[in-house]
Each structure stands twice: as C-alpha cells, then as structure tokens.
C-alpha cells in the first residue's frame, strides 16, 4: 500500500494505518517514507481542484479567414461548471481591448477570485491593473506550460474540432456570429463528461413527449428534446 500525500508526516500516516488495522511502529513508518526534496506544497492540479468555483481562465486563439486574414478569438471560461462566460473576436487585439472584454464578462459583484492566463505579451499593464481593480488575483502560468491553462486549452480545442475547422470564415462579423451560436450550444446543450454528462447550464431530464431535433450551426450539431 502506498500513501500519496505530501502534507502528511510519519505520525499522521501511522495513525491512518492503525485505523486500518495495521499494527506497525511509527519508527517503521518513518524509516520507509519517501524523503521529500523540498517543503510540502500543493501542486498546480491540487490548487485548481480546491479552488475551481473561484477560478476563471482566459486565452486567445487564431482563426484564418477565406482571404487569409488572421482573426483573434478571445474566450473566458469558469472552471467549476466549464461555463463559457465570454467569447469575442477582433482583428487587432490590444491590452485595452482585452481589459474591456474582462470588464464586460464579469459584473463587479460576480468576478472570480483568480484568473488564469498564459504569458502572452498582449496581457500588459492595462490588463493587470484592470484585473486588480476588480478584486481578481492574476495567475499567469509558468513559461512553456500550456497544461497549466488546460481548461481554456481544452475549450479552444473543442471550438476548433466542433466548429471552426468545419466552417469557412468570411470575416470578423461572420466569425463572431458563428462563435456566439457555438457558445450557446456549448453552455446550454452540449453534454460534458467532466459534468457527469450534463451541460454547464444544467439540462433537465425529459422522460415524456415526442423527441424532436433542432439543427444548430446549419446542422453541424443538433439539440434533441421532447415536446
């Protein structure tokens, strides 16, 4: 049996073993414990798991158009229910534009406690000052560590696989409209394995009525419901 908890010492582990019916000396537990190289600390995954209801994450990704122009889509997602709380598009991302998106995404009394982002230069002093003014603690990820912003990365992957990879983008207004449709589908219709096959905006189980389907994004996806 292995005990994996960096915050436990020999006395705590010994107590747990006694409660499991193992008669062993505390000195024996101490002898076979793996020696820590540094002070006990929670890992990044533990931090995310413990603070998920109070954390949001944001990121930008690039979408090419029919004319080979590059558009930038900006997303903000809350970690607890995977809520896609904001999505917008621009051809010229600036720190002021990003700061305005954050303000519009969160009413002043509903802002998260932490906001995860990567170290893109677009997040300049304007963004960090705006976040601080809203009472949000800025949490940049470590360099070259996209997995630390995994929720936003996973969301962007879903948007690509389920939406923009199948659509020819004509321009900024067209992409914004398409992403708004997908955001509604993602939040209210699409089921998520991490939410026990529920949607971020919880869907009621329908047991009576005739099943009908409604096409979403021109039939790229469907919403099945009973009437």
Q: Alpha-carbon distance 182 to 159, whole Å?
A: 8
Distant-in-sequence, close-in-space partners of 72: CB < 8 Å, separation ≥ 6: 60, 61, 62, 63, 89, 90, 91, 93
User: Which tens digit of pLDDT belongs to each residue from 199-227?
Assistant: 999 988 888 889 888 999 999 998 888 88
pLDDT at 168 over 80: yes
Q: Where are the domains of the chain?
A: 10-41, 46-195
pLDDT the model gives residue 41: 61
46-195 CATH fold: Nucleotidyltransferase; domain 5 (3.30.420)
Instruction: Report the percent of the chain where pLDDT is more than 70.
Output: 93
Read off the pLDDT of residues 37-68 as tens digits, 9 standing for 90 and up. 655 566 767 777 788 889 999 999 999 999 99
pLDDT tens digits along 89-113: 999 999 999 999 999 999 877 899 9
Pairing outcome for strands 70-78 and 55-64: antiparallel
Residue 22's pLDDT band (boundaries 50, 70, 90)? Answer: confident
Q: Is 171 exposed, middle or buried (0-12, 13-18, 19+ CB in 10 A)?
A: middle
Contact 4, 33 (CB under 8 A): no
4: its two tokens = 């994996």
How confident is the model at residue 39, as a pLDDT? 54
Mean pLDDT of 155-161: 96
Spatial contact of 185 and 87, defined as CB atoms under 8 Å apart: no
In the predicted structure, residue 7 carries a pLDDT above the cut 70: no
How do residues 137-153 score in pLDDT, each as one tens digit? 999 999 988 989 999 99
Is residue 88 within 8 A of residue 74, CB to CB? The reply is yes
Q: What is the pLDDT of residue 126?
A: 95
Cα radius of gyration (the chain): 23
Rounded to 5 degrees, φ, ψ at 225 are -150, 165
- Per-residue pLDDT averaged across 150-173, rounded? 96
Read off the pLDDT of residues 65-92 as tens digits, 9 standing for 90 and up.
999 999 999 999 999 999 999 999 999 9
CA 226 to chain centre: 31
């Amino acid at each position: 049996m292995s005990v994996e908890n960096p915050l436990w010492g020999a006395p705590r582990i010994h107590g747990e073993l006694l409660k499991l019916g193992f008669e062993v000396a505390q000195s024996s537990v101490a002898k076979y414990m793996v020696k820590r190289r540094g002070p006990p600390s929670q890992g990044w995954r533990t931090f995310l798991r413990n603070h998920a209801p109070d954390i949001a994450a944001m990121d930008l990704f690039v979408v090419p158009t029919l004319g080979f122009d590059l558009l930038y889509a900006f997303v903000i997602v809350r970690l607890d229910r995977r809520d896609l709380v904001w999505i917008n598009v621009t051809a010229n991302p600036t720190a002021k534009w990003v700061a305005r998106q954050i303000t519009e995404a969160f009413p002043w009394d509903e802002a998260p406690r932490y906001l995860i982002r990567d170290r893109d230069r677009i997040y300049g002093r304007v963004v960090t000052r705006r976040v601080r003014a809203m009472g949000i603690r800025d949490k940049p990820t470590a360099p070259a560590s996209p997995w630390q912003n995994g929720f936003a990365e996973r969301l962007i992957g879903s948007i690509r696989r389920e939406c923009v990879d199948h659509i020819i983008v004509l321009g900024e207004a067209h992409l914004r409209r398409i992403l708004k449709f997908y955001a509604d589908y993602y939040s209210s219709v699409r089921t998520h394995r991490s939410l026990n096959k529920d949607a971020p905006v919880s869907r009621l189980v329908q047991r009576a009525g005739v099943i009908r389907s409604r096409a979403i994004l021109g039939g790229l996806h469907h919403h099945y419901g009973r009437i």
